[in-house]
C-alpha cells in the first residue's frame, strides 16, 4: 500500500476545498451586497468621502417578482413601473410576476383543455381571451372599489386634520392621527406617508407619493392646497375645512347624477349582453342553427361587422351616460 500516494490525494482534496472557501470569502468581502452596503456607509462617514453619485433612497422598494430572473426580465419591459403602481393602487398583495402568472396560466389551461376536448376554434379563442382577462379585470375592479372608498373617506380626513390643527397639533402629527384613527383603506395610506416623514423624507415628497398612490382629483387638490400654504402661508385649518365642504358637495352631486343615469347604464348592460345570451340559448335549443356563422365566410364577416358595431355602440353609450363631475 502506497501511503505517500494516498496522503498526497488527501492533501490535494483539502487544498481544493480551502481554495474554494478562500475564493468564496474573498467574493463575499468584495462583491456581496453586504460588503457594498458597508463600503458605502464607511465612505459616507469618512472625512473626505462623497458617497455614491446616485441619490440614496430610504423608501422601501417593491419587488416585481419573487424570482430574481423574472425580475431582471421584467425590468426590460417599458413602463413596467406603471403596472406595479396599478397593483399598489388596487390594494392587492400582488407583484407583477404574480399578475403575469395569473394572466398567462388560465388561457394556457383553457387551450390545453380545448385541445384535449374538441372545441370549435371561435369559441375556444373567445374562452382563451376571457380567461386571460380575468386577472386584469379583478385588479381593475379592486382598484375602482378601493378608490371609491378612499374618495368617500377623504372629507372626514380633511375635517380631522383641520380639527387637529385648530387644537394646536402640527401637520405631520395630524397625518399620524389620521393614520391611527381612520379605517382602511385610507388609514394605511396616511400611515405610510407619516412613516416616510418620520424616516426623513421631506413633506413635499411624502405628499407627492401619496398623490401618486391615490390618483383621485380631490386628494390632489388637498395636496396642492397644503403645498401652496407651506409656500405662501395662510390658515391651513380653514382651507382644509373648505376643501372638505367642496368634496362633500361634489359627492352629493355625483350621487344625483348616478341616480339620473341609472336607466341609461342598465340599458347599456342589457343591450350589450342580449346578443350573447340569445346566441347561447339558441345554441342549446338548436345547436346547428348558428353553425353557419362560423362555417360560412359570409357568416364570419357578419359576425365581425356585428362585433365592431357593438363595440362602437357601447363606446358611444358610455360617452353619453358617463358625466364627469
- Boundary-marking domain end, from 226, 259, 292: 259
Q: Does residue 48 fall inside a structural domain?
A: no
Q: Which residues contact 30 (CB under 8 A, 6 or more apart)?
A: none
Q: Which pLDDT tens digit goes with each residue over 253-283?
A: 888 888 877 877 888 888 888 888 888 888 7
Q: For residues 237 and 282, state if they share a domain.
A: no
- Same domain? For 200 and 288 the reply is no
Per the confidence metrics, is the pTM higher than 0.75? no
Residue 200 domain-assigned? Answer: yes
Q: How far is residue 24 from each of residues 13, 20, 37, measured CA to CA in Å?
A: 17, 6, 18
Q: Are 196 and 250 in a shared domain? A: yes
In a domain, 9, yes or no: yes
Residue 284 lies in a domain: yes
Do 6 and 22 belong together in one domain? yes
- Which residue shows C-alpha cell 353609450? 317
174, three cell numbers: 395630524
Q: Is residue 100 part of a domain?
A: no
pLDDT at residue 164 is higher than 80: yes
The predicted-structure confidence for 53-105, as pLDDT tens digits, reads as follows: 333 444 455 667 677 777 777 778 787 888 888 888 888 888 888 888 888 88
Residues 227 and 303 in one domain: no
Percent of all residues in the chain with a pLDDT value above 70, rounded to a whole number? 82
Cβ neighbours of 131 (radius 10 Å): 19
In-domain check, residue 292: yes
What's 233's domain CATH number? 1.20.81
What does the alpha-carbon distance between residue 198 and residue 220 come to, in Å, rounded to a whole number? Answer: 22
In a domain, 91, yes or no: no
How high is the mean pLDDT of the chain? Answer: 79
Q: Are residues 248 and 265 in the same domain?
A: no
Question: Quick check: is 132 in a domain?
Answer: no
Check whether residue 206 and residue 165 sit in a common domain: yes
Residues 251 and 291 in one domain: no
**Reduced to 3 states, what is the DSSP secondary structure of residue 62?**
coil
State the total domains in the chain.
3
Do residues 247 and 268 share a domain? no
**Structural domain containing residue 273:** 261-325
Phi, psi angle pair for 261, to nearest 5°:
-95, 10
Judgement on whether residues 323 and 272 belong to the same structural domain of the protein:
yes
Lowest model confidence (mean pLDDT) among 20-34, 76-90, 202-216, 300-314: 20-34
Q: Are 233 and 211 in contact (CB under 8 A)?
A: no
Same structural domain, 255 and 270:
no
- One domain for residues 170 and 237: yes
Amino acid at each position: 500500500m502506497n501511503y505517500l500516494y494516498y496522503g498526497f490525494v488527501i492533501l490535494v482534496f483539502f487544498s481544493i476545498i480551502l481554495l474554494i472557501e478562500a475564493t468564496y470569502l474573498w467574493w463575499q468581502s468584495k462583491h456581496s451586497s453586504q460588503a457594498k452596503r458597508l463600503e458605502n456607509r464607511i465612505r459616507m462617514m469618512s472625512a473626505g468621502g462623497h458617497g455614491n453619485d446616485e441619490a440614496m433612497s430610504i423608501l422601501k422598494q417593491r419587488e416585481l417578482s419573487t424570482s430574481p430572473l423574472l425580475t431582471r426580465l421584467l425590468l426590460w419591459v417599458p413602463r413596467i413601473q406603471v403596472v406595479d403602481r396599478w397593483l399598489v393602487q388596487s390594494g392587492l398583495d400582488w407583484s407583477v410576476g404574480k399578475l403575469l402568472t395569473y394572466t398567462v396560466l388560465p388561457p394556457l389551461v383553457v387551450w390545453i383543455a380545448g385541445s384535449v376536448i374538441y372545441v370549435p376554434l371561435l369559441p375556444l379563442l373567445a374562452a382563451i381571451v376571457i380567461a386571460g382577462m380575468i386577472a386584469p379585470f379583478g385588479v381593475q375592479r379592486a382598484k375602482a372599489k378601493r378608490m371609491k372608498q378612499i374618495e368617500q373617506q377623504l372629507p372626514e380626513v380633511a375635517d380631522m386634520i383641520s380639527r387637529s390643527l385648530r387644537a394646536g397639533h402640527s401637520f405631520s402629527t395630524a397625518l399620524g392621527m389620521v393614520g391611527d384613527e381612520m379605517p382602511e383603506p385610507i388609514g394605511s395610506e396616511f400611515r405610510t406617508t407619516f412613516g416616510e416623514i418620520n424616516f426623513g423624507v421631506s413633506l413635499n415628497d411624502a405628499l407627492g407619493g401619496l398623490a401618486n398612490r391615490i390618483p383621485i382629483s380631490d386628494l390632489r387638490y388637498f395636496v396642492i392646497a397644503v403645498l401652496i400654504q407651506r409656500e405662501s402661508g395662510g390658515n391651513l385649518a380653514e382651507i382644509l375645512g373648505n376643501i372638505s365642504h367642496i368634496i362633500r358637495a361634489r359627492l352629493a352631486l355625483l350621487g344625483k347624477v348616478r341616480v339620473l343615469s341609472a336607466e341609461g347604464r342598465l340599458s347599456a348592460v342589457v343591450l350589450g349582453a342580449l346578443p350573447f345570451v340569445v346566441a347561447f340559448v339558441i345554441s342549446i335549443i338548436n345547436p346547428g342553427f348558428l353553425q353557419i356563422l362560423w362555417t360560412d365566410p359570409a357568416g364570419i364577416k357578419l359576425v365581425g361587422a356585428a362585433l365592431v358595431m357593438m363595440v362602437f355602440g357601447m363606446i358611444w353609450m358610455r360617452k353619453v351616460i358617463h358625466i364627469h363631475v
